[in-house]
């Protein structure tokens, strides 16, 4: 019988490291042999795995202790960066779904972290902005998250981190590719 191991502990770390080779092996079995395609598959898979780990870590160590969710933090951050926004724009800037925005905004407003006002010229639209308490909560979250980000990136040299930032920015800022 094979033992199933999670991503924690020595056995889990070993299973995590072998994931990339197993992923490539299985894709080769499916007929993917182009090295660039295999690299792209591994990169996207690694990015999604890293995003899930970062989100879990930040929620546990940063956001939950402040009474926030990941979606709530992203909304506060978008309002801090862009200033007051229409509710319909928050999803685009925060990367949140319409359903999670509605729920998170209700919670953030109840806690006094944001305020929402109807737009006078179009009563269907809501205008959202940070309150002073929202700014202070976000400041605490950013301070703590920056420490976590520093810990996560400590394995990289400065030049590696700068190159990774450049590469990710290139990927993020491109137009959505069309399928071939």
3-state secondary structure the chain: CCCCCCCCHHHHHHHHHHHHHHHHHHHHHCCCCCHHHHHHHHHHHHHHHHHHHHHHHHHHHHHHHHCCCHHHHHHHHHHHHHCCEEHHHHHHHHCCCHHHHHHHHHHHHHCCCEEEEEECCEEEEEEEEECHHHHHHHHHHHHHHHHHHHHHHCCCCHHHHHHHHHHHHHHHCCCCCCCC
pTM: 0.78
Look at residue 39 in the predicted model and tell me its pLDDT: 92
Look at residue 99 in the predicted model and tell me its pLDDT: 80
Predicted confidence (pLDDT) per residue in 42-97, tens digit? 999 999 999 999 999 999 999 999 999 999 999 999 999 999 998 889 988 887 77
């Amino acid at each position: 019988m094979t033992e199933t191991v999670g991503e924690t502990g020595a056995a889990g770390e070993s299973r995590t490291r072998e994931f990339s080779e197993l992923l490539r092996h299985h894709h080769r079995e499916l007929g993917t042999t182009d090295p660039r395609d295999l690299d792209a598959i591994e990169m996207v898979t690694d990015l999604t795995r890293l995003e899930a780990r970062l989100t879990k870590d930040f929620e546990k160590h940063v956001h939950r202790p402040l009474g926030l969710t990941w979606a709530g933090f992203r909304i506060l951050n978008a309002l801090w960066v862009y200033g007051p926004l229409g509710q319909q724009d928050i999803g685009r800037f925060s990367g949140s779904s319409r359903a999670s925005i509605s729920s998170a905004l209700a919670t953030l407003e109840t806690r006094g972290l944001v305020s929402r006002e109807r737009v006078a010229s179009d009563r269907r639209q809501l205008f959202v902005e940070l309150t002073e308490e929202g700014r202070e909560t976000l400041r605490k979250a950013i301070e703590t998250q920056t420490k976590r980000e520093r810990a996560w990136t400590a394995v990289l040299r400065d030049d590696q981190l700068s190159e990774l930032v450049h590469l990710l920015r290139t990927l993020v800022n491109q137009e959505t590719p069309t399928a071939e």
